[in-house]
Amino acid sequence: MYGCHRVGAAAVLVAVAACGSGSDAPRSVTTVSWGGSYGRAVNEGANIPFTEETGIRVEVEDFNGGLAQIRAQVDIGEIHWDVVDLGVADAVRGCDEGLLERIDITSLPPGSDGTPAEEDFVADGRTECGVGNLYWSTVYAYNADNIPGEKPATMADFFDVEKFPGRRGMRRVPEVNLEFALIADGVPLDQVYATLDTPEGLDRAFAKLETISDEVIWWEAGAQPPQMLADGEVVMTTAYNGRIFNAQVLEDQPFVIVWDGQVLDVGQVSIVAGTPRLEAALQYLAFATSTESMVRIARRISYSPMRKSGMPLVTTHVVAGVEMEPHMPASPANAANALRYDWAWWVDHKDELNERFSAWLAR
């Protein structure tokens, strides 16, 4: 007596499932990146041209770094992500854990000047399961409108809440923050990782974080810090340098980057192991790490390309028209006081420190 109702509902479900699961959908690849203005730069610099050239649709998902979602997909046995934009430490760990495909760098296209890929990529950008695409830095920045009088200039100033009162923004991970804490505490750049490697050094870093933790708003997505600076929610915040740059040139925000003690790092592109769309993923990866794509991205956000052939081609920002070089994290002037991110150290310590950090936050 109620059969027809159930059949009706079932028919709706089947119809929805058929159109939703996309069994007959055109070929597509799911790429995972960091959203916000960087996400837009990758979209315009790599995704749209890729679809135009190959007809393969690019689905974009945002995340905030880390291996958790990839581990979850591999653990549960359903792979939904194909190409992921990872930090080096995560690319290496993911490789060791069998989460990522190994990538043969010689299979990538040569540079725009004909240099074979294996010579074109700087050595930094090379690990077993990832292809380096750009240099980026975690810096700290402030809103000049909200700090009257003397401006902060060193990493120590970031931790000095008496001299510069007000809330701070920091990324909700131990990485980089522990380094910043030690630098602010007076540890020379070349001693930072040696100090972190000792239990006393770690305690010292956490103790330094503790001194400002009441003032910190922890952010997760790269788009948050510029927003918090603009809204006046914080007086200064750590941030990815490109996000601050884009807010400066595209939204005329009075933000200032402090190039002191910032952490210089490499971004990589990797492929999730076991993806059913491996072929399209490889095709996308080769396209997105080509000289042309890297240059297109670098002309939209201030992250330097990792192909030697690309470096001289990055001229001005496509919209704002400003010269990119003075804003690049790897430019000699900016990198003079930079700490090189020691991914090997983080490969070994990331898990235990993530755990310690989240317990520390939850106290």
Partner 1 sequence: MAAQHPDARPSPAPAVGTARAVAPRMGRFAYFAFCAAVFVFLVAPILVIIPLSFNAEPYFTFTEGMLRFDPDAYSLRWYREIIENEAWTGSLVNSLVIGVSATALATVLGTLAALGLASPGVPARRVIMGILISPMVTPVIISAAGMFFFYSNLGLGQTHLGIILAHATLGVPFVVVTVTATLAAFDRNLTRAAASLGAGPWTTFRRVQLPLIAPGVISGALFAFAVSFDEVVVVLFMGGVEQRTIPRQMWSGIREQISPAILAVATFLIVFAALLLVVVAWLRRRAPG
Partner 2 sequence: MGGGDRVPQGGGPGGGPGRPGGLRGAIPFRRDQLRALGLVAPLLIFVGVTFIAPLATMLTRSVHDPVVADALPETLALLRDWDGDGLPAEAVYETAARELERLGEERTIGQVAGRVNRVQGGLRSVFTRTVRELADAAPDPAVAAETPWRDALAGIDPAWADPMTWHAVRTTGERFTSRHYLNAVDRERLPDGTIARQPEERRIYLRLFWRTLLVSGTITVLCLLLGYPIAHLIARAPPRRAALLLVLVLVPFWTSLLVRTTSWIVLLQTQGVINDLLVAIGLVSDDGRLAMVYNMTGTIIAMTHVLLPFMVLPLYSVMRGIPPQYMSAAASLGATPVQAFLRVYWPQSLPGVGAGALLVFILSIGFYITPALVGGSDGQLISNMIAYHMQTSLNWGLAGALGGILLVGVLALYLVYDRLVGVERMGLS
Q: Which residues bind partner 1 (CB under 8 A)?
A: 1-2, 5-6, 8-9, 12-13, 16-17, 19-22, 30, 35-36, 59-62, 76-78, 80, 220-221, 223-224, 227, 230-231
Residues between 79 and 108 that touch partner 2 (CB under 8 A): 93-94, 96-99
Residue 351 CB, shortest distance to partner 2, in Å, is 5
The reply to whether 186 sits near partner 2 by the rule CB under 8 A is: no
The reply to whether 356 sits near partner 2 by the rule CB under 8 A is: yes
Q: Which does 172 bind (CB under 5 to 8 A by kind): partner 1, partner 2, none?
A: partner 2
Q: Distance between CA 251 and CA 64 in Å, rounded?
A: 23
Residues between 290 and 319 that touch partner 2 (CB under 8 A): none
Q: Write phi, then psi, for 104 (nearest 5 degrees).
A: -90, 115
Residues between 259 and 288 that touch partner 2 (CB under 8 A): 273
Query: Of 12 and 153, which has the nearer Cβ to partner 1?
Result: 12
Residue 209 CB, shortest distance to partner 1, in Å, is 23
The reply to whether 126 sits near partner 2 by the rule CB under 8 A is: no
The reply to whether 14 sits near partner 2 by the rule CB under 8 A is: no
The reply to whether 165 sits near partner 2 by the rule CB under 8 A is: yes
The reply to whether 77 sits near partner 2 by the rule CB under 8 A is: no
Contact pick of 212, 217, 250, 320 for partner 2 (by CB under 8 A): 217
Enumerate binding residues for partner 2 (CB under 8 A).
2, 6, 66, 68-69, 71-72, 74-75, 93-94, 96-99, 165, 167, 172, 216-218, 231-233, 273, 347-352, 354-356, 358-363
